[in-house]
Chain A
Amino acid sequence: MNELTRRGFLKYSGALGAALATGGLSTIARADDVLKIGVVYVSPIAEIGWTKQHSLGVEAIKSEFGDKAKLTVIDNIFMPQDAERVFRELASAGNQLIFGTSFSHGTPMQKVAPRFPKIAFEHCSGIVHLANLGTFEAKYYEGTFVAGAAGGYMSKSGKIGFIGGFPIPDIVGPANALLLGAQSVNPNATCNAIFLNSWFDPGKEKEAAKTLLSQGCDVICSMTDTATGVQVAGEGGAWSIGYASDMSKFSSGKQLTSFVLDWTSDYVGAAKAVAAGTWKPEVRWDGLAAGVVKMAPYNDGIPADVKAKLKQLEADIGSGKVHPYAGELKDQDGNVKVAAGSVLSDDGIRGMNWFVKGMIGKLS
């Protein structure tokens, strides 16, 4: 019925009238109690992976708010040009809170947010903050440090393999932490790194994983949007480390652990704040302590005492007792980047575009 009247209205009022009407919705919508939320995914929801973890956040809002929230989800929006249009549409459609879930959504959100100052924008993995644009991000490196330690304990060859999507700081940093974690238990550990220049390319990822296996790596960590790395490692008899989701069922029982992303607190927190009228743009960057990064259950093949040490390491990182990027840190060429006794600054972490000593591979 609603549809019919709307259509009839459009027919007679024409495009301009419709534009005014939809433009006016955003203020009207505030009057009722239903919170309208828009979410833009970078890919379709799969069984595992980046977008799946975001969808869990969305589900959490649904179960928390029930009828009190109306969620509009647009998936498969990657290109900035398209994203800007979609954010604009979501904003004009009266959503009070809008989530962007990919770095490529950043520039479009920065363009759209100032036009809709009453709407709250939340950008996952963003770097720019505005009066109504907040960001949230996970400390992946805390997860990879623990996972790297697990790898360091379990690796016989001392060679860790790493597959990354793109050589951007968000991936390079965790790769470094993976090796630093391994070196914390085996100072001679090294890490071979390969970048696919794609988040989703199972073919290339398979090749990469096989290459790493042939190079003698017996622990493989893959920071992409597929479980291919974990799967190929398992088929090749190597340990694996999952990312974003628990990938143990793809690993032939060889997943040591996985650093799982749990955005629930970010999603539900932002929604509650907007509903309560207390939302402010924040820069949230959380890890093990806040539960945004969680370690998946450790593999039963890990000895109990090692498991206990890893649990302790999680707690120590959470409490700040251990910092993954504590000095002294040297780069590949042996230059000291972080002096002994100090830790890498937050800006240094978020802009990490260099490999620590022991990494094998190049950043193009």
Chain B
Amino acid sequence: MRIAAPVLASVLTLIVGSIFFASLGHDPLPTLYAFFVEPLSSMNGLSEWLLKASPLILIACGLAIGFRANVWNIGAEGQFIMGAVAASGVGLFWSDPDSALLLPLMFLAGMAAGMAWAAIPAFLRSRMNTNEILVTLMMTYIATLFLSYLVHGPWRDPAGFNYPQTALLPAAAMFQSFDPAYRLNSSIFITVVAVFLMWLFTDRSFLGYKMSVSGAAPLAARYAGFRESAAVWIGLLAGGAAAGIAGMAEAAGPLGQLSPQVSPGYGFAAIIVAFIGRLNAFGIVLGGLLMSLLFLGGEGVQMTLALPSALTRIFQGILLFFLLAADFFIFYRIRLVRPAPDAHALETAR
């Protein structure tokens, strides 16, 4: 069932999508082809695919650790921004712009900033029992405005006609591309490591086990003496660290400078990715790749078939809707139908 659900969702999407495109006068097959295959049919396309999927997967891994414990960090966008800000600050103002240490320092700065930004809601939740959903979201707005202040004010590029953006980061502050012709850079390895760590943490570690108990049955966690505040702290800090690193990688990768807009909504899209991936490391990788492909495919059909962007967005919505809906119904099956077959199995086993 766990595998059948996404397959079913995909088939439904293809059917509904075909009807949708056909009804608007677009031949469905070439449209779907342009949406899902063509973006991946060139090296550049593959590079862009991974480049966009990488931050989504990275952030979703961090968020899922919290989500598994019912810690709802929906402010990854803000943590992402703070990570980008802190890392860029180091990159722009470090005394030696050619230092080989620059990139590692930026990594640490980005991670620390993301964690610090997530630590505020963690503190408020564990000490004052505030709702972390609201606080993390509010913190996102603060981060956005803080970034805006920096690029309009003290960090503005002195040579940039007063436009709100910083100077470009020095070369030593940028991740190396694998090939100068493509944008994919070595930060993808961070995501690979993060996925492994996420798997290790959630699937194998005792800490991850405690978090999953907190999420699935808070009373059982209290019964066993697992600290709720530990789950809150770990959940939020993991998300903050991942988002902060992703922000750093974005600044030191595709962006190369700060402007008032550093995130194309990665912090929010990663929430969807985490849920498409069922909060599981492997699923998140697939979810991130799918999400990224949806973006690229949306542009692809605009380019090759001149479909308006509104249509592509509707199609993206249909796919996400089916995927999440399929999950929802599966979730219900597990709860309602399972006990019966198990009981029967017991009967026959006797």
Chain B residue with the shortest CB-CB distance to A38: B303
Beyond A15-B41, A19-B42, A84-B254, is A89–B164 a contact (Cβ under 8 Å)?
no
Chain A residues whose CB sits within 8 angstroms of the CB of B132 once the complex forms: none
Given A44-B310, A75-B308, A76-B309, answer yes or no on A89-B163 (Cβ-Cβ < 8 Å): no
The verdict on A73 contacting B152 (CB below 8 Å), with A19-B44, A88-B44, A351-B161 known, is no
CB atoms of B163 and A169 under 8 A apart: yes
- Residues 18-72 (chain A) with a chain B CB within 8 angstroms: 18-19, 22, 44, 72
Q: Counting CB contacts under 8 A, is A93 at the interface?
A: yes
Residue contact A81 to B41, C-beta cutoff 8 Å: no
Say if the beta carbon of B160 comes within 8 Å of chain A: yes
Contacts of A107 in B (CB 8 A): 165, 168, 255-257, 259
Complex CA distance for A364 and B168, rounded to whole angstroms:
22
Which residues of chain B are near A364, meaning CB under 8 Å? 149, 152-153
Q: A74 contacts the other chain (Cβ, under 8 Å)?
A: yes
Q: Which residues of A contact B257 (CB under 8 A)?
A: 107
Residue in contact with A15 in the complex, picked from B42, B52, B260, CB distance below 8 Å: B42
Q: Report how far A111 CA is from B181 CA in the complex, Å.
A: 11
Given contacts A19-B43, A84-B183, contact A74 B308 (CB under 8 A): no
**Contact call B302/A74, Cβ cutoff below 8 A:** yes
- Contact status A15-B30, CB under 8 Å: no
| CB <8 Å contact, A104 and B44 | no
Q: Report chain A residues within 8 Å CB of B327.
A: none
Q: Are B161 and A89 neighbours in the complex by a CB distance under 8 Å?
A: no
Residues of A within 8 A of B255 (CB): 80-81, 107
CB < 8 Å A-B pair total? 107
Chain B residues with CB under 8 Å of A73's CB are: 302, 306
Docked complex Cα distance between A352 and B48 (Å): 37
A184 CB-CB contact with B under 8 Å: no
Q: A364 CA to B43 CA in the complex, in Å?
A: 44
B267 to chain A, nearest CB (A): 13
Contact A81 B42, CB 8 Å, known A73-B306, A169-B161: no
The answer to whether residues A92 and B261 also contact, given A74-B299, A168-B162, A197-B148 and a CB cut-off of 8 A, is: no
Contact A115–B259 (Cβ < 8 Å): no
A145 to chain B, nearest CB (A): 21
Q: Check B77 for interface membership: any CB of A closer than 8 A.
A: no
Chain B residue with the shortest CB-CB distance to A77: B299
A16 and B48 form a contact (CB under 8 A): no
18 sample A-B contacts, Cβ–Cβ < 8 Å, listed by A number: A3-B30, A15-B45, A15-B46, A19-B43, A74-B302, A79-B263, A81-B254, A82-B295, A85-B48, A85-B299, A86-B299, A89-B44, A90-B303, A92-B42, A169-B161, A169-B163, A351-B162, A364-B149
Using CB atoms and an 8 Å cutoff, list the residues of chain A in contact with chain B: 3, 7, 10, 15-16, 18-19, 22, 44, 72-82, 84-86, 88-90, 92-93, 103-104, 107, 111, 115, 127, 166-169, 197, 347, 350-353, 364
B residues apposed to A, CB below 8 Å: 30, 33, 37-38, 40-46, 48, 51-52, 148-149, 152-153, 160-165, 168, 181, 183, 250, 254-257, 259-261, 263-264, 295-296, 299, 302-303, 306, 308-310
Q: A81-B250, A169-B162 are in contact. List 8 more A-B contacts (CB 8 A).
A: A19-B43, A22-B42, A74-B303, A78-B264, A80-B259, A107-B257, A115-B181, A166-B164
